[in-house]
Amino acid sequence: MITAVELGLIYAIMALGVYLTFRILDFPDLTVDGSFTTGAATASILIVNGTNPLVATVCAFFAGAAAGVITGLLHTKGNIDGLLAGILTMIGLYSINLRIMGKANVPLLGEDTLMSPLRANGWLGSWVSVALLLLLCLVAVAVIVWFLHTDVGMAMRSTGDNPEMIRSFGVSTDNQKILGLALSNGLVAFSGALIAQFQGYADIGMGIGIILIGLASVIVGQAIFSQRYIWLAAIAVVFGAVIYRLVIQFALGAGLEVNDMKLISAVLVVLALVLPQVGVFRKLAARIQITSRGTAKADAPEEEEKQNA
Amino acid sequence: MLEITNLNKTFFPGTVNERKALREIDLTLAEGDFVTVIGSNGAGKSTVLNMVAGKLYPDSGNVRIDGQDVTKLADFKRAKYLGRVFQDPMAGTAPSMTIEENLALALGRGKVRALALGVTNRKRELFVEELASLELGLEKRLKTKVGLLSGGQRQALSLLMATLTGPKILLLDEHTAALDPQRAALVTRLTREIVERHRLTTLMVTHNMEQALALGTRLIMMHDGQIILDLSQAEKEKMTVKGLLGEFEKIKGAQLDDRTMLQ
Ligand SMILES: Nc1ncnc2c1ncn2[C@@H]1O[C@H](COP(=O)(O)OP(=O)(O)O)[C@@H](O)[C@H]1O
Ligand SMILES: [Mg+2]
Residue B108 CB contacts under 8 Å (≥ 6 apart), including other chains: A151, A155, A169, A170, A171, B118
Q: What order do you get walking across the sheet with B60-65 strand by strand? A: B19-29, B2-11, B60-65, B68-69
pLDDT at A259: 85
User: Of B111, B148, B248, which is closest to A294 when you measure between CB atoms?
Assistant: B148
Domain assignment of residue A302, yes or no: no
Q: Which of A141-145, A242-246, B183-187 has the highest mean pLDDT?
A: A141-145
B215 DSSP assignment: S
The reply to whether A161 touches chain B by the CB within 8 Å rule is yes
Dihedrals phi, psi of B98, to nearest 5 degrees = -80, 170
Are residues A292 and B96 in contact, defined by beta-carbon separation less than 8 angstroms? yes
Residues contacting B252, CB < 8 A, separation 6+: B223, B228
CA end-to-end distance (rounded Å), chain A = 73
Helices (H), A21-148: 32-48, 53-76, 82-101, 116-120, 127-148
Ligand closest to B10 (CA) is 1
Asked whether residue A304 is domain-assigned, the answer is no
What CATH number has the domain bearing residue A291? 1.10.3470
Domain boundaries, chain B: 2-262
Supply the pLDDT for residue B258.
Answer: 57
Query: What's the whole-number average pLDDT of chain B?
Result: 92
* Count of other CB atoms within 10 angstroms of residue A20: 30
DSSP-assigned beta bridge partners for residue B34: B202
Query: Residue B4: beta bridge partners?
Result: B27, B63
Q: What residues in A contact B38, CB-CB < 8 Å?
A: 309
Mean pLDDT, range A92-121, rounded to an integer: 95
For residue range B129-184, what is the model confidence (pLDDT) as tens digits?
999 999 999 999 999 999 999 999 999 999 999 999 999 999 999 999 999 898 89
* Angstrom distance (rounded) from CA A82 to CA A71: 8
In a domain, A305, yes or no: no
- Cβ of B149 within 8 Å of Cβ of A296? The answer is yes
What pLDDT, on the 0 to 100 scale, is given for residue B240? 87
User: What is the number of domains present in chain A?
Assistant: 1
Share of residues in chain A with pLDDT > 70 (%)? 90
Q: How far is CA B13 from the centre of its chain?
A: 27
Stretch among A230-244, B97-111, B175-189, B238-252 having the lowest mean pLDDT: B238-252
Q: Are A247 and A223 in contact (CB under 8 A)?
A: no
Specify the pLDDT at position B246.
Answer: 86
The ipTM, to two decimals, is: 0.92
**Does residue A281 register a pLDDT over 50?**
yes
pLDDT tens-digit map of A191-242: 999 999 999 999 999 999 999 999 999 988 888 887 889 999 999 999 999 9
CA of B224 to the centre of ligand 1 (A): 10
Contact A168 B53 (CB under 8 A): yes
Mean pLDDT of the region B76-93: 93
Q: Which domain holds residue A183?
A: 2-296
pLDDT over 90 (residue B36): yes
Strands (E), B60-114: 60-65, 68-69, 82-85
Tens of pLDDT, residue by residue over B220-231, are 999 999 999 999
Does residue A309 form part of some domain? no
In angstroms, how far is CA B193 from the centroid of its own chain?
15
C-alpha B25 to ligand 1 mean position (Å): 15
Q: Does domain B2-262 have CATH number 2.60.120.380?
A: no
Compute the distance from residue B92 Cα to the ligand 1 centre, in Å: 20
Q: What tens digit of pLDDT does each residue of A148-201 get?
A: 999 999 999 999 999 999 999 999 999 999 999 999 999 999 999 999 999 999
Q: What residues of A are in contact with residue B74 (Cβ under 8 Å)?
A: 172
CA atoms of A280 and A259, how far apart (whole Å): 33
pLDDT score for A308: 37
Query: Residue B41: CB within 6 Å of ligand 1?
Result: yes
- Ligand 1 nearest-atom number relative to CA B47: 17
**How many CA atoms, within 13 angstroms, populate the side-chain half-sphere of residue B34?**
20
